[in-house]
Amino acid sequence: MKKFFLLTFVLLLAISGVTALAQDTVLDRLVEYGSSLPQGYGIIRVDDVAAAVAEREVVLLDVREIAEYEAGHIPEAFNVPIRTLGQNLALLPDLDAEIIVVCKGGARAMLAQTSLRLLGYTNVLTFAGGFDAWVGEELPTTTDPFTVEAGTAPEVDPAVLAAVDGYLSSLPEGYGLVSATNLAAELVEKPILLIDVRSDEEWAEGYIEGAQHLWINSFVANLDQLPGDKDAAIVVYCAGGWRGGIAAVFMNLLGYTNVRNLSGGLNAWKTAELPLAGVPVAEFDLPTALTEYAAGMPETFNAVRVDDLKAELDAGNELFVLDVRTGDEYAESHIEGAVNVPLNELTDHLDMLPAFDAPIVVVCGSGHRSALAMVALNLLGYSNTRSMLSGMTSWTAKEYPVVQEPAEAAAGAAPEFDPALFAAVDGFIKSIPQGYWTVKAADLSVELVENPPMLVDVRTDSEFQAGAIEGALHMPLADFMTRLGELPTDLTTAMVIYDNPTHRSTIAMSLLRMLGYENVRVLAGGVGAWEKAELPLVVPVS
């Protein structure tokens, strides 16, 4: 009896020794291959596949199921279903032949490519997009089977072959893939370890909440970072699914029993509009935001004439009329239905405004304060906000109806803004002084004699050529922001901007003020007020 137990013990030791030796061999091969992954991870796309088929001798290996293959395949592609691949190496050419692996979309092909490369095949490629991409390009297909004669299987390490065949032959239904939506649902119900195998640069752009980062190129150098529980539920992912497929093969061969790959990778997660963590907050660039705003303005510069606004209101158009005059001015008379939010309080009461894309018309006394408010709202994202030219002065001059009964706006929730953008706009609105950075024509004429500010005319070429204030620099508002280099770099330089009436100049002044210019004003009433004061205009010399 003792002899029997001794023999059994020796046999067990021998078996465990062989098993350990096989495991070491597989591990050594994983480390060897994982340390020198092919450039581009062995991906080839449809145009290059078509070119390869036309130009040189390549082997097309279709690893789909027999029924899929029989329904249609690439001409001269032969079929070895992926689960039987390890048992059919005799159908493949030598280890250095160029083999392009085809499946439906590419996921199975990457599992096959990785497995074959681990076995020693040196030039195996994955057709990204697979048969679907081939059909999508309307390239020729056939249902006639293409057969190859079995030869002699190449000599490969038996331990690695046994491990690879064991993995491939036991692939589950779905080939170890999980969709983005299913993964998201699972993550709510149970803990799953996520492993992100993208590069450091990709990881820095955002990842799935809770994921562990382990770049595929350094994966085998950091196996100690993998979980100790080899039965743990694990999902690996990359950007498109290819590197995730490599990682899935590696982990399965390392003995992990419950590893899946996110189908379509993080691209599919984003397409499903699922949340990301770690997304960097872009640093707010105010000059760029102002330049883009100016460049995107329509030819009207978001101005609406009094007569046109009256016509829109008479037609029953749904307009939110925002009166930014003081409470006292508003109480005296205002357009029926207009809601009053004084200019300096505008950013404190954005909860009273409608949606970003709702039509809003801002009014004031002359059109200047309304333009200031319009610029602020436009920048914050209120894309359909205009300013009424010449303000209530023109409205009442035309004897259009006014009321004294205040209109009430139901306060809601203020929208969310980029904090840096809101801070810039809020600071601008709150810093507007009494007088609203305007200068009257008579006062400007005195300044031009005693302490002349720089004059900037933002009208069109034809307006400027018809007569301008002497010495003015012509910078049409349409290209104002692209010509800032013509202005002094000293942000304290005194400037007066004008147009006719006061709308475009207010926009230009607002942009400069937000860029840090401290001493910029507009000519109240513009050229019209200048001429009314019987002050001279000159015809510029061409």
Give mean pLDDT in consecutive 10-residue pieces for the chain, a chain of 542 residues.
35 42 89 96 97 96 98 98 98 96 98 98 98 97 96 94 97 97 96 97 96 97 96 97 98 97 97 94 86 94 97 95 97 97 96 93 97 97 96 96 91 84 94 96 97 97 96 96 95 97 96 96 97 95 71
User: Which residue do the tokens 């064991």 mark?
Assistant: 166
Global pTM value: 0.60
The Cα–Cα gap between 71 and 60 comes to 17
DSSP character string of 259-312: EEEETTHHHHHHHTT---BSPPPPPP-HHHHHHHHHHT--TTTTEE-HHHHHHH
Contact 45, 128 (CB under 8 A): yes
Residue 1 pLDDT:
40
**Ramachandran class of 478: left when φ > 0, alpha when ψ lies in -120 to 50, beta otherwise:** alpha
Residue 408 pLDDT:
84
Residues near 154 by beta carbon (within 8 Å), at least 6 away in sequence: 89, 92, 94, 95, 120
The domain limits of the chain are 37-169, 176-280, 286-429, 438-532
Query: Which residues partner with 521 through β-bridges?
Result: 496
Residue 484 pLDDT:
95
- Which CATH homologous superfamily contains domain 176-280? Rhodanese-like domain (3.40.250.10)
The CATH number that domain 286-429 falls under is 3.40.250.10
The Cα–Cα gap between 472 and 526 comes to 13
- Which CATH homologous superfamily contains domain 37-169? Rhodanese-like domain (3.40.250.10)
Domain 37-169 identical in fold to domain 286-429:
yes
The Cα–Cα gap between 45 and 43 comes to 7
Burial of 216 (0-12, 13-18, 19+ CB in 10 A): buried
Residues near 110 by beta carbon (within 8 Å), at least 6 away in sequence: 42, 101, 126, 241, 242, 245, 246
Check if CATH label 3.40.250.10 holds for domain 438-532.
yes
Residue 416 pLDDT:
87
Residue 4 pLDDT:
36
The Cα–Cα gap between 49 and 139 comes to 11
